Amino acid sequence: MSNFNTITIAAHQAAINFASFLYMVPLSISMGLTILVGFEVGARRVADARQYSYIGIAMAVIMSALCAIALFIFNKQAAGLYSNDSAVIELTKQFLYFAIFFQLSDAIAAPIQGALRGYKDVNVTFIVALISFWVIGLPTGYLLANYTSLGAFGYWIGLISGLAMGAVCLLLRLLHVQRKTGRTAVSNHV
């Protein structure tokens, strides 16, 4: 982003800061899921662990959808929290539209990461994060920002693409871990 002008950098910083603020909701749910799922898995109540996982993911998505609607409606007011410069506010508003998709991807990925930590499955999560941010997100953003007319928005599209791909992969991993944990619990009872 440092290749862009001061207005673009200021608008980007304002939007990413507000998106990070909204991320605290799914992050909090993720931390709660780590504890709840870990407790239920430790007690060998895998059905309850699975149910908590899905409730947490649904809560995060619903909360983020509500925040997305509010952000869509009040994006000028949100942008105005960071600057009184009309050019910065207008560009921040545009970045905040991208932040809606950014936060929805985060709302899926964050609670899944928490649930996976509860299942004590962290290595694959690290690899998925590494690939989704550094192999997919950043290179895609760089290419879109520097070789298309998207400019700075290309970085946001790249980041959203990486987050979305990471969310899908983490969901597949969670389903795999839950199936494996369920089979292990059944074979231990027999």
User: Residue 159 domain-assigned?
Assistant: yes
User: Residue 1 domain-assigned?
Assistant: no
| CA separation for the pair 48, 54 (Å, rounded) | 10
**Mean pLDDT within 112-131:** 96
Q: Is the pLDDT of residue 27 over 60?
A: yes
Q: Token pair of 73, please?
A: 């409606």
Predicted confidence (pLDDT) per residue in 34-66, tens digit: 999 999 999 999 999 999 999 999 999 999 999
| CA separation for the pair 113, 27 (Å, rounded) | 9
Per-chain mean pLDDT for the chain: 94
Residue 63 is predicted with a pLDDT of: 96
For residue 188, give the H/E element and its range.
Answer: helix 153-189
Residue 147 is predicted with a pLDDT of: 97
Nearest to 75 by CA among 59, 93, 63, 91: 93
Domains in the chain, number: 1
User: Residue 150 domain-assigned?
Assistant: yes
117, 39 Cβ separation under 8 angstroms: no
Please enumerate in sequence order all residues whose Cβ is within 8 A of that of 14, keeping only pairs 6 or more positions apart, or say none. 79, 81, 82, 83, 88, 92, 95
Predicted confidence (pLDDT) per residue in 154-190, tens digit: 999 999 999 999 999 999 999 999 999 988 766 665 4
Residue 1 is predicted with a pLDDT of: 85
Which pTM does this prediction carry?
A: 0.90
Domain span holding position 89: 6-189
Q: Which three-class secondary structure state does DSSP give residue 119?
A: coil
Angle, CA of 21, 22 and 25, to the nearest 5°: 110
